[in-house]
Homo-oligomer: A and B are copies of this chain.
Amino acid sequence: MDSAPDYARQKAADFIAQLNELLTIPSISTLAEHAPDVERAARWLVDDMRRIGLRAEIHRADGYLPLVYGEWLGAGADAPTVLVYGHYDVQPADIADGWGTPPFQPTQRDGRIYARGALDSKGHVIAHLKAVESLLATGDALCNIKLLFEGEEESGSAHIYQFVRDNRQRLQADVIVVSDGSMPDEKQPVLVYGLRGIIQFEMTVTGPARDLHSGHYGGNVHNPLQALTEIMAALHDERGRVTVPGFYDAVRPITAQERDVLDGMREWSEREWHAVTGAPATWGEPDYALHERSGARPTLEINGMAGGFFEKGFKTVIPHKAWAKFSCRLVPDQQPATIAGQVIDYIHALTPPTVRVEVTSDWRDAAPGVVLDYESPSMQACIRAYEQGWGVRPILTREGGSVPVVAVFAEVLDGDVVLMPFGYKGGGAHSTNEYIVIEMFHKGIQTALAFYDQFAALHSGAD
């Protein structure tokens, strides 16, 4: 019988075909009309889990989008247990946003597959599922395996926290592998030991009771669009720091030792920044390197803003309302509740008597930042797995994105949490023309297989 790695290599074309199947399903969790598609994707996953030999089921409750859970406990009670987490829901995508090909018709070119979710994060989900298939098909599995795939990650992970708490015993594992995210270079794996948290806000500025003629009232009514720009502009100083009082109070400083570790990312991250962003110049807190600004520092970002007339042509209106959506990325030890209060209080303090402001934050969307111990044995096993799967020692880093469930796993379950990204950072997560590099997908499967090996060896005391 073949080894699991050989099996995975032989099945490469099948695995890609299966990934493409899942990518055709527009499982957009943030848009209610796509709930049936999220359901369809969950069904696809649970069917495949059962086909390859897992005991699998869909978990749901009122208003949930489905959680897919599968397990194989055939390695026995003495063997270590690995829990893998991923998410199969995706961000919204519309070809009109500037996609070269329809976002839910996976298109292969130049060694990549273009589709919404290819990178974030169906590629990760399928890589892990196919690693498990390879282990079970070849009898190579030395660990018990638990797979947990979420359908609400992109819409704020409303229910998985409670699910993890309610199923503490069932999910118990010696290590929790959270597989999502990306690396700044296709050839250079990166091991993420820190993630930022997030908290989201919606804000409405209301002035007059209805839209007014800018000729009649321009000059004596505070234009809500202008008030919005004044308030939003006041949330940063000229050095790019957030001005909300107390915002940085709890931020854990970067130690000299950690700064050295993180410095491994400096060059990669600068090169990648220029290759991917195409922005005219870097921006942000001058006392921190680019990778520190995005990995270890908190932010406040406007994600959307609108008001008045912005179609073709002109309408000389003072709109009665203006909107903004914004979010803060958080780092340890900022508490989402504290930050939400500080931001909301400050915006109210900035609001002049000439307009009314409503600003809210949805608790179900909030997650704290997290930093994992990069010296733990599990993390060391993970480093060796990447050395096998990619042929290169991974760089350690802190990632700017948020995987809200990581903090919950770290809090509720006993095992170490490790992060295992297989994607390329330039692959357009949350943007147009998202893609996965096919070679990285296959290396991801090999890395996952190597990790099971390494982790089993670690547990048995051998190496």
Interface centre among A198, A306, A352 (most CB of B within 10 A): A306
Cβ contacts under 8 Å, A302 to chain B: 223, 225-226, 229, 307-308
Do the beta carbons of A430 and B315 come within 8 Å of each other?
Answer: yes
Q: Which of B207, B273, B314, B322 meets A30, CB within 8 Å? A: B314
Contact of A92 with B by CB under 8 A? yes
Given the complex, which residues of B lie within 8 Å of A297, measured CB to CB?
219
The residue that A353 contacts in the complex, of B220, B276, B280, with Cβ under 8 A, is B280
Report A68 CB to chain B, min CB distance, Å.
Answer: 22
Q: Write the nearest CB–CB distance from A369 to chain B, whole angstroms.
A: 11
Contact A283 B220 (CB under 8 A): yes
- Is A81 located at the chain interface by the 8 A CB criterion? no
Contact across chains for B400 and A219 when beta carbons are under 8 A apart:
yes
A400 touches B294 (CB 8 A): no
Nearest CB of B to A449, in Å: 28
Find A301's partner among B218, B283, B354 (CB 8 Å cutoff).
B218
Q: Are B215 and A283 in contact (CB under 8 A)?
A: no
Q: Chain A 90-108, CB within 8 Å of chain B: the 1/0 string?
A: 0110000110000000000
Is A388 in contact with chain B by the CB < 8 A criterion? no
| CB <8 Å contact, A327 and B234 | no
A51 to B296, CA, bound (A): 78
Q: Is A385 an interface residue (CB 8 A)?
A: no
Contact: B303 with A314, CB < 8 Å? yes
A211-B430 contact in complex given A220-B282, A280-B353, A325-B308, C-beta closer than 8 Å: yes
- What is the CB-to-nearest-CB distance from A271 to chain B, in angstroms, rounded to a whole number? 13
**Complex-state Cα separation, A352 to B222, whole angstroms:** 26
Task: Say yes or no: B209 contacts A278, CB within 8 Å.
Answer: yes
**Within 8 Å CB of A208, what residues of B?**
277-279
- In the assembled complex, the CB of A392 is this many whole angstroms from the nearest CB of chain B, namely 21
Tell me whether A322 and B309 are in contact in the complex, defined as CB-CB below 8 angstroms, given that A216-B294, A400-B218, A430-B315 are known contacts. no
* Chain A 219-240 residues near chain B, CB threshold 8 A: 219-223, 225-226, 228-230, 232-234, 236, 240
Known contacts A222-B283, A229-B229, A353-B280: does B215 contact A196 (CB below 8 Å)? yes
Say whether A170 faces chain B, with CB atoms less than 8 Å apart: no
Q: Is the CB of B329 within 8 A of A218?
A: yes
Chain B hits for A316, CB < 8 A: 198, 200, 301, 303, 327, 402, 430
Closest B residue to A425 using CB positions: B216
Chain B residues closer than 8 Å to A325, beta-carbon distance: 308-310, 314
Are the CB atoms of A218 and B314 closer together than 8 Å? no
Count chain B CB atoms within 10 A of each CB in A218, A222, A353 and give the residue with the most: A218
Given contacts A214-B303, A301-B318, A317-B431, 18 further A-B contacts (CB under 8 A): A30-B314, A156-B314, A198-B316, A211-B431, A215-B329, A215-B400, A219-B284, A219-B293, A220-B290, A221-B277, A222-B281, A225-B303, A230-B236, A279-B354, A302-B307, A303-B316, A304-B308, A304-B315
10 contacts between A and B (CB under 8 A): A210-B431, A212-B276, A218-B294, A219-B329, A219-B400, A230-B233, A232-B233, A283-B352, A304-B308, A305-B310
Closest 4 pairs (CB-CB, A-B)? A209-B278, A215-B401, A304-B308, A222-B283
